[in-house]
Amino acid sequence: MTDGYPILAVNHLVAAFDTEAGRVRAVNDVSFSLEAGTILGLVGESGCGKSVTALSIMRLLPRPTGIIESGSIRLNDTDLVKLAPDQMQRIRGRRIGMIFQEPMTALNPVHRIGRQLVEVFALHRPDVDAGQRVQEAVALLSHVGIPEARARMDEYPHQISGGMRQRVMIAMALAGKPDVLIADEPTTALDVTIQAQILELILDLQKETGMAVLFITHALGVIAQICQDVAVMYAGQIVESAPVTALFKDPRHPYTQGLLTSMPRLSSENKSTLPIIQGTVPSLSQLPPGCLGPLFFTGTLGVPIGDGSEKRKAASCGKPKDGFSHPRRCAAKKGGAGACGGRCFANCGTR
Amino acid sequence: MHAVDGVSLTVGRGETLGLVGESGCGKTTVGRCILRLYQPTEGRVIFDGEDLLKADSKTLRAARRQLQMVFQDPFESLNSRHTVGDIIAEPFIIHRIGSPAERARSVAALLKRVGLAADAAIRFPHEFSGGQRQRIGIARAIALNPKLVVCDEPVSALDVSIQSQILNLLLELQKDLGLSYLFIAHDLAVVKHVSDNIAVMYLGRIVEYAAAGVFYEKPLHPYTQALIAAIPDPDPEKKKASQPMLSGRNAGAGAISDIRSRPFRCLPLRRSAWWGRRRCARKRPPLRWVYLSEWCKPPADGPLQHCCCKKPDLKCAFQGL
């Protein structure tokens, strides 16, 4: 597999939920592409739609409330949105693997680890015959760094630690040898030292198999350490995307800038006042159509950046200025890399 | 099982002591023992010259006015059937302070103090976002003008952009009201930001104790070093080199997840091959003063640091002896 080939392309994806308050678009016109052999980070706060994006790709939105309204999700040349459920079943696990935030809830507590792993082989690896499945499963467990793998096969999920459970999850996701791995907050529930181990494992395996990884997280530090590209999601849309060094060095969207400056760092001065992003995340059901930029900063248009002395105005919709990149705008203008300063990973196509 | 074993720490007036460690290390238990929500089996908790563990219920009640707590989960720590006004007024009612009208005035002032609108008093917790709920929890904690607030993971359930708002509020309140904090968290960057001194806990013991500034520049204990090394740096140009003790495939073997598997005398013996499986110091290494530039000198002027190692570098008690 060669690097740089877009293996998964999400285009103008709209995923919505029918609620009592009417239809809410949790993912609103999201586009990005994932290249083979790379890791794309999808970063955002809770409720921004990053997990719904992942579930849409897997076609696992809760039914009947969750629906993909429009858009396409192309895996190589197949549009996943149009697939019948049984066809999709063959994609899941074999072509796209997924790991979840909480390995304890993702694993079945009443079955032994071995049985759950062997089941994956039975479902997704027809090339492995029944007699070999156990050996394959043991080999896979030791491959993801689980000591005494054979003994672990007979244990239940509650008998092993959180980090070990996440390794089991990774083993299960990799059993079908997928081309794409979706990792939805895989380290959020883990301690920092265990997180470091799991991140390194994912990096190792990614290099080894050449798979593409969509890494979903809210932790910018994790993004900086493992991703090549990063997309920042906010209120159901990608507000900024860029190669990781560019994004951290020169964030353009006021939201991204706010995220980066507001986090306490080891190097930050003790007990100093942190620059903050004013307001809170708007409710998706109350989102006016169109632009997110000014909307984010509820109550005030001026966003204090840096020490707060420098006030920058968030650009209003359709008027990108002051380094404000806007994928929606960009999407409207086909191939308009200029409009977003080459930062738009999503729709410009000419990055 | 000793969840917390021989922990000693001091919180100065108007200061913040950060207590940092991974899940299960006993940091929350320490916080709860201080408030005597748990009854420790041994030891002393001296608050303003009074041993709280020996105090009778009357003295304890009086002391608890001065000791408050902010909890991790702003969803579960507020009674969903009470209005926010009732929740914040509760400390006044328990300690029989003020008339209802005075309480209402205090509640309004407190809401304003933590950055909430006055009409919040008649609303219910579920109407607020996580960050706002944490503000309500903070308002309740500072209602009685406490001297010490134990903050148990106050921002770890919050989103990144809300975290900084709450941290700023806590710092501001400390400056204005002269509060002391015991700030318990697992996020070192957060702890470092708010603390004057930091204690690192591992498997029920404090392994290192130092001033916040010194701490990150020169961590002494191997566990502290590992903890700092494990933080993902939010700078893509500083990709971490692989950590020997954290290396992906092999590290699982040495991880201690359970306090019960703590080796009898020596602390991080089984953590990984890197720390060696050899016998550690036979006696529990005492916390001792360590002079930063020269190991094992008695305290003199200059930055001081506690470490439980005798010679806290890589050739320390953990590997040799």
Q: Are residues B155 and B50 in the same domain?
A: yes
pLDDT computed for residue A5 by the predictor: 67
Q: Mean pLDDT of all residues in chain A?
A: 77
Task: Name the least confident of A24-28, A221-225, B279-283, B291-295.
Answer: B291-295
Q: Looking at the domain assignment, is residue A306 inside a domain?
A: yes
- Residues from chain B contacting residue A163 (CB–CB below 8 Å): 252, 255, 257
- Containing structural domain, residue B289: 222-307
Residue A283 has pLDDT above 80, yes or no: no
Mutate to test the interface with A, among B164, B202, B247, B256 (most CBs of A within 10 A): B164
Looking only at the bridges linking them, the beta strands covering B50-51 and B16-20 are unpaired
B258 pLDDT more than 60: no
Residue finishing a domain among A177, A193, A226: A177
Q: Is residue A130 part of a domain?
A: yes
Using CB atoms, pick whichever of B212, B237, B255 lies closest to residue A270: B212
Local confidence band at B21 (pLDDT 50, 70, 90 cut-offs): confident
Q: pLDDT, tens digit, for every residue of A129-141?
A: 888 999 999 999 9
Minimum CA–CA partner of B234 in chain A: A221
With bands split at pLDDT 50, 70 and 90, how would you rate the model's confidence at A292?
low
Please indicate, yes or no, whether residues B186 and B240 belong to a single structural domain of this protein: no
Chain B residues whose CB is inside 8 A of the A273 CB are: 168, 171-172
pLDDT of residue A305: 27
pLDDT of amino acid B242: 52
Question: Is the pLDDT reported for residue B176 higher than 50?
Answer: yes
Q: What is the pLDDT confidence band of residue B269, given thresholds at 50, 70 and 90?
A: very low
Distance between CA atoms of residues A269 and A265, nearest Å: 9
Residue where one domain finishes, among candidates B145, B160, B195: B195
**pLDDT over 90 at B210, yes or no:** no
> Which residue does chain A place closest to B215, by CA atoms?
A266
Predicted confidence at residue B162, as pLDDT, reads 86
Mutate to test the interface with A, among B193, B198, B272 (most CBs of A within 10 A): B193
Mean confidence (pLDDT) of chain B: 76
User: Mind spelling out the 3-state secondary structure of chain A?
Assistant: CCCCCEEEEEEEEEEEEEECCEEEEEEEEEEEEEECCCEEEEECCCCCCHHHHHHHHHCCCCCCCEEEEEEEEEECCEEHHHCCHHHHHHHECCCEEEECCCHHHHCCCCCCHHHHHHHHHHHHCCCCCHHHHHHHHHHHHHHCCCCCHHHHHCCCHHHCCHHHHHHHHHHHHHHCCCCEEEEECCCCCCCHHHHHHHHHHHHHHHHHHCCEEEEEECCHHHHHHHCCEEEEEECCEEEEEEEHHHHHHCCCCHHHHHHHHHCCCCCCCCCCCCCCCCCCCCCHHHCCCCCCHHHHCCCCCEEEECCCCEEEECCCCCCCCCCCCCHHHHHHCCCCHHHHCCCCCCCCCCC
Q: Using CB atoms and an 8 Å cut-off, which of residues 70-129 of chain B contact chain A? A: 129
pLDDT tens digits along A302-344: 222 232 322 333 333 333 333 333 333 333 333 333 222 222 2
The whole-number pLDDT of residue B294 equals 28
Q: Tally the domains of chain A.
A: 2
Q: Name the closest residue on chain B to residue A45, using Cα atoms.
A: B159
pLDDT at A285: 67
Q: Are residues A191 and B23, on separate chains, in Cβ contact within 8 Å?
A: yes
Q: What CATH number is given to the structural domain containing B191?
A: 3.40.50.300
Q: What is the pTM of this model?
A: 0.78
Banded pLDDT at B80 (limits 50, 70, 90): very high
Query: Are residues B43 and B106 part of one domain?
Result: yes
Residues B88 and B170 in one domain: yes
- Domain span at residue A159? 103-177
